[in-house]
Structure 1
Amino acid sequence: MRRPLSLAEWLLVLVAGYLVVLKLAFSLAAFPIADEAYYWMWGQHPAWSYFDHPPLQGWLQGLTHLVFGRSLFALRLPAVLAFAGTVWIYLDLARRFAGEAWRPVFLKGLVVYLAAPMFGLFGSVVFNDYLMVFLVLASGALFFRFFADVEGGGTGRRLHLYGAAALLGLAALAKYNGALLGPAVVATVLLRPRLRRLLRRPDLYLAAALALAIQTPVLLYALQTDFASFRFHLADRFQGHFTGLIPREMLSAAIGTLVTLSPFLVPALLRFFLGWRLPPFERPARAVAVLVFALSSLPLLYIANYSTILPWWNIAAFVLALPFLGRHIDRVTLSLHALYGMVFATLFVVNFTLVPVHSLLGVRPFYETDHAFGWDGLAAAVSEARERHGAQFLATNRYQTASQLAFALDDPQVVALSSRRDAFDDWFDPKTRLGQDAILLIDGSEDMQTFRRHFARITEIGTFTAAPFGHPMLTYTLYLGDGFRPL
């Protein structure tokens, strides 16, 4: 007979429930953050792959739009489903490595995940990361089961091995750093004596071939574009060159990651990474998790010496460790972590659904918040200007603004005209707009020179200021561009 929940378990359920409610509130109420709308635009322009990232997120956005139309529900449905899958995997893993004590371990692990801003909150934002995280977790869970069986003297189920390989291929098809799990798995097989006998089995090589075969769309796109996406991620996006170690910059990158993850998880991570008394299921899993952590973190620390590192770029480092922290985190640290996550999540949801928290403090919001409000009124102003001036198309000076305007209008033909390379360059043919007039929406002075070169004449025709609850934020300027000319 199942025993009733203890007081501590009820508290964990309440914390998890509160954080889930916040996730759903964000999902159903927040206007698409800039890159969310950009990936929605991918779904309106199906392709083998895309300049910024692999194609799986774009394909999913195209599918949900096809089935449900343009809505916040359709936009963020994949993230909601990924979260549901994550909960199931956490539950399954807890039952496997915690035995009869699985329930408190699962609930603590769930709170660890939800209260970590990098996962609980960021997992609701439909950037490519949420999808990569879920697929790496799902693949890792199957690899854990396969390796535990082999180390226990069994042969391992082929279904687990090939399923893990397929999910690994999909993880890399969601975001390139999902591929880090591949070398971590190979290194685990090489480093653990009981797993080395797998090197004599053709199954291991066939599974690797399956994961690689799933990358065919990315390879086709690379061949079509002279490997533009790979060149962008491996070199072009990182300004500067390595001239030596700069401890201050490396420390700054590490602190940014820990703030986004939650500093209160560090003791539990150290216990998991360095502990000696682990149950059999957890031992090969720990090896894979540590290797993914190193393969993700060390290159980013190196790059931090000469370029800016955004905290969530290192999200892959922690995906496979988090499910086990419910067994390694103590009550005090978990309480602090939960409080940290609830405050962070509350401010985050208020910031994107009601009014920017920065504005209340008299500080200028960061870019994503700055562009999160006023789109209903802005879309109406753009539509009115287009009708009044008889313009043939709409354009902006940033891919983010173009994507958000396209989502607000449900018009995937909005154009981004910028000197920066982006996906719009793959689906917009300038020759089709030769000589046409356009309504131009500008959210700043950036790259106005490109606009002026594209048109025979540009005339300012109005402004619009986003002001949620009376708090003035960003002012957009509307222009009429006469006589478009391709460059």
Structure 2
Amino acid sequence: MEMRTVFVVLWTTIVLLKLAIAARLPLFVDEAFYWLEGQHPAFAYSDLPGLTAWLIRIGTEVFGDGLLAVRLPFIAISALVPWLVVRLTAREFDPQSAWLSGCAALLLPLLGSLGVMALPDAMLALATVLCLDAGVRLLRGVTHGGALLLALGLSLGALSHYRFIAVIGVGIVALLTIAKGREALRDPRVWIAIATGAAAWIPLLVWNVDNAEAGLRFQMVDRHPWALHADGWQFIVIQAVMVTPLLFAALLIAAWRLRRAPDDAARFLAMSGGLMVLGFFALGFVADTERASFHWPLPGYLALLPLVGFVLMTWPRWLRIATWVTLALGFIGVVGYYAAVSAPEVRERSAGLKWYPSNFAGWDTLADAVREELAAMPADTVLVADNFKIGAELGFALGDPRIRVLDHPLNRHHGRAPQLQLWHLQLDDRAELAGRPVLLVTGANDVKFSALLQRYQTICARMGALPVSRVVNADRGAQRFILSRFDADAKAGAGDCVTPALAYVDTPLAGARVDAPFEVRGWAVKDGSGVASVAITLDGVPVVQAQYGAPNPWIVERFLAGDSRDPAGVNIGFSATIDPATLTPGRHWLGLEITGHDGSVERWAEQPIQVAPAR
């Protein structure tokens, strides 16, 4: 089978696979916020230029509300990129190598999964390929078509993401290292194209000027430590995994070998790709390591893909086969992850594991619970979310882009606080709602566990007592939300702050294997009212009442930093004994049912245990 046929079959299969996954994969929290931005049309936003939000709005206006409608424009864009890689490679080098580069583009995990989520990287990839194509055209001589292509690529990139600045900088450096490139940069048509691309940054610059450079400060200053740290070395390992080791090596070898190639096109692509990957590697020693950054070097790989054939053709057959096998396995791994995450049963089984996909999980369950609560409340009830994640996800699920959101560390940490303030969606005080009833949705997993009590107390200061009207435990409590009803006459600061309970099971540990009567020990606190009782549950059913009231001063004084206002003081420990002989062998879910002196009953998150077969 010739490579062209292989490419077409692969492309068709992958596009259909993306469509199937995109129709089922729950909305990622960033996608939800971009949807929210699309419901508030503007030229730029606090976290991004406007194009991503505009595309989502177009998708929903044309195809209706739904997961696939949000993502269709991005799937279409990502489907175009491999064809552009093929066209560039065929024109500049060799038609047979072009289909090989196209297949690599389809299977490259970072690129092959593009479009499954409505993220700016799809348009960023398209803009990068257009600029690379324009660059190699200009090296053969400046034409109106080449300049127009450059203007289009620069404009789309400027409207996509701040990171496109790296593509511009590297591209100029690569052109300056080549005599024909320096000659092209002296042509007025090229500068008109550059000016057109620069003009596309104006909306973002205006937004920053009007908002005290909040977006620039977040992207360039606030989110980065700008201090040396050792985590940068992980870049090589992470990129080798995400690109697959053998293809990663082939791309780097291509960049090194062809950096001084006599062919200007090959040299330009090698310099562009090599400098891009090297630049992000160096940046990794001083930049943000908390949020996902493994996809940042993708523009560099796009520049190197047309050159990969020069390396693979020199490798022995067994090594080429190994490259394609590992590449296919890498693609299957990434796409398989999205497919698995889209299945509710997989998300539930992964509860308690490190790779639990919290940003994809629990939103449908939460939305159903919120609908039920709102249906039982007055028509003028105001829905309030604890943070931007909950507000955006509920906004999409309920079709409401005006959900009020409390000030939260997450809003600032992700650069969304300024935008919420501009939309007048940030709620700073209960008094702003003019006495209307409220349904507040609080995320119990959105701050560190050690800071959760302080978060509850902060909400109390703004909203009043924090009654537990309903607990939503999605995926056995891996995603946990507290729903609180406030009547129209409730006032902030009135009376003692009664918070949701906090609890922890010290033993057995999650995943522990038990084969003899075992003790369940832990602690539970509830500010304001205190804990009346703790019941141990297995698979959601209470099985034994725990003895509550054992002293645990370390938790109160150190872990809770003395902030606990539970009337029990330090006497917050509980214990109970369970005989596994009464249970069927296999996996069971151990949990707690906490009853407060205020009458509230809260189910705590569950954790798995393994019951060994009877001997």
What is the rounded CA distance, in whole Å, between the counterparts of 1:30 and 1:387 in structure 2? Answer: 27
C-alpha change, 1:361 and 1:336, in structure 2 (3 Å) is farther
What is the rounded CA distance, in whole Å, between the counterparts of 2:10 and 2:153 in structure 1? Answer: 31
Cα deviations across residues 413-444 of structure 1 (Å, max 9, x unaligned)?
12321333313222125486343332122231
Query: What is the aligned counterpart of 2:276 among 292, 297, 304?
Result: 292
Query: Residues 98 and 327 of structure 1 are in contact (CA less than 8 Å); yes or no, is this contact kept in structure 2?
Result: no
What is the rounded CA distance, in whole Å, between the counterparts of 1:451 and 1:465 in structure 2? Answer: 20
Match of 2:179 in 1: 193
Query: What is the aligned counterpart of 2:463 among 436, 455, 478?
Result: 455
What is the rounded CA distance, in whole Å, between the counterparts of 1:326 and 1:440 in structure 2? Answer: 57
The correspondence of residues 205-354 of structure 1 with structure 2, limited to 5 A, is: 205-238=191-224, 240-242=225-227, 244=228, 246=230, 249-276=231-258, 281-303=265-287, 310-329=293-312, 330-354=320-344
- 2:392 aligned with 1:397, yes or no? no
Cα deviation for residue 272 of structure 1 reads 1.5
Cα deviation for residue 211 of structure 1 reads 1.0
Amino acid at match of 2:474: A
Give aligned pairs, total: 462
Tell me whether 127-136 or 419-428 shows the greater mean CA deviation.
419-428
Secondary structure, counterpart of 2:171 in structure 1:
helix
Q: Greater strand percent: which structure?
A: 2
Query: Residues 442 and 476 of structure 1 are in contact (CA less than 8 Å); yes or no, is this contact kept in structure 2?
Result: yes
Cα deviations across residues 274-310 of structure 1 (Å, max 9, x unaligned)?
2246755423232332333334432233326x86663
Higher relative contact order (CA 8 A, sep 6+): 1
Cα deviation for residue 407 of structure 1 reads 0.9
Secondary structure, counterpart of 1:20 in structure 2:
helix
The correspondence of residues 48-447 of structure 1 with structure 2, limited to 5 A, is: 48-101=43-96, 105-147=97-139, 149-150=140-141, 156-238=142-224, 240-242=225-227, 244=228, 246=230, 249-276=231-258, 281-303=265-287, 310-329=293-312, 330-356=320-346, 359-360=349-350, 363-366=353-356, 369-390=357-378, 392-420=381-409, 421=412, 422=416, 423-429=419-425, 430=427, 433-444=433-444, 446=447, 447=455
What is the rounded CA distance, in whole Å, between the counterparts of 2:433 and 2:304 in structure 1? Answer: 51
Secondary structure, counterpart of 1:442 in structure 2:
strand
Amino acid at match of 2:353: V
Cα deviations across residues 178-232 of structure 1 (Å, max 9, x unaligned)?
1222222221232112222234322232222111111111011111101100011
What is the rounded CA distance, in whole Å, between the counterparts of 2:14 and 2:61 in structure 1? Answer: 30
5+ residue gaps, structure 1, are 151-155
Cα deviations across residues 99-155 of structure 1 (Å, max 9, x unaligned)?
342xxx3443233223322221244211222221222122222222222x13xxxxx
Query: Residues 441 and 477 of structure 1 are in contact (CA less than 8 Å); yes or no, is this contact kept in structure 2?
Result: yes
What is the rounded CA distance, in whole Å, between the counterparts of 1:484 and 1:84 in structure 2? Answer: 54
Secondary structure, counterpart of 2:110 in structure 1:
coil
Give me the identity figure in percent: 22
Cα deviation for residue 382 of structure 1 reads 0.5
Amino acid at match of 1:200: R
- 2:30 aligned with 1:22, yes or no? no
Cα deviation for residue 453 of structure 1 reads 3.0
C-alpha change, 1:257 and 1:267, in structure 2 (3 Å) is closer
Query: Residues 25 and 341 of structure 2 are in contact (CA less than 8 Å); yes or no, is this contact kept in structure 1?
Result: no
What is the rounded CA distance, in whole Å, between the counterparts of 1:169 and 1:484 in structure 2? Answer: 51
Amino acid at match of 2:437: D
Amino acid at match of 1:478: L
Query: Residues 154 and 194 of structure 2 are in contact (CA less than 8 Å); yes or no, is this contact kept in structure 1?
Result: no
Amino acid at match of 2:271: A
Cα deviation for residue 363 of structure 1 reads 1.6
Cα deviation for residue 75 of structure 1 reads 0.3
Query: Residues 272 and 300 of structure 2 are in contact (CA less than 8 Å); yes or no, is this contact kept in structure 1?
Result: no
Tell me whether 442-451 or 456-465 shows the greater mean CA deviation.
442-451
Secondary structure, counterpart of 2:376 in structure 1:
helix
Query: Residues 16 and 110 of structure 1 are in contact (CA less than 8 Å); yes or no, is this contact kept in structure 2?
Result: no
Amino acid at match of 1:315: L
Amino acid at match of 1:427: W
The correspondence of residues 28-39 of structure 1 with structure 2, limited to 5 A, is: 28-39=23-34
What is the rounded CA distance, in whole Å, between the counterparts of 2:343 and 2:44 in structure 1? Answer: 32
Cα deviation for residue 54 of structure 1 reads 1.6
C-alpha change, 1:224 and 1:251, in structure 2 (3 Å) is same
RMSD: 2.9
Secondary structure, counterpart of 2:163 in structure 1:
helix
Cα deviations across residues 317-345 of structure 1 (Å, max 9, x unaligned)?
32322343355333321222112222332
C-alpha change, 1:14 and 1:212, in structure 2 (3 Å) is closer
C-alpha change, 1:13 and 1:61, in structure 2 (3 Å) is closer
Amino acid at match of 1:162: L
What is the rounded CA distance, in whole Å, between the counterparts of 1:10 and 1:296 in structure 2? Answer: 35
What is the rounded CA distance, in whole Å, between the counterparts of 2:106 and 2:459 in structure 1? Answer: 44
Cα deviation for residue 357 of structure 1 reads 6.3
What is the rounded CA distance, in whole Å, between the counterparts of 2:279 and 2:354 in structure 1? Answer: 36
| TM-score calculated relative to the size of structure 2 | 0.69
5+ residue gaps, structure 2, are 313-319, 448-454, 493-615
Query: Residues 418 and 450 of structure 1 are in contact (CA less than 8 Å); yes or no, is this contact kept in structure 2?
Result: no
Secondary structure, counterpart of 2:435 in structure 1:
coil
Query: Residues 188 and 288 of structure 1 are in contact (CA less than 8 Å); yes or no, is this contact kept in structure 2?
Result: yes
Cα deviation for residue 268 of structure 1 reads 1.4
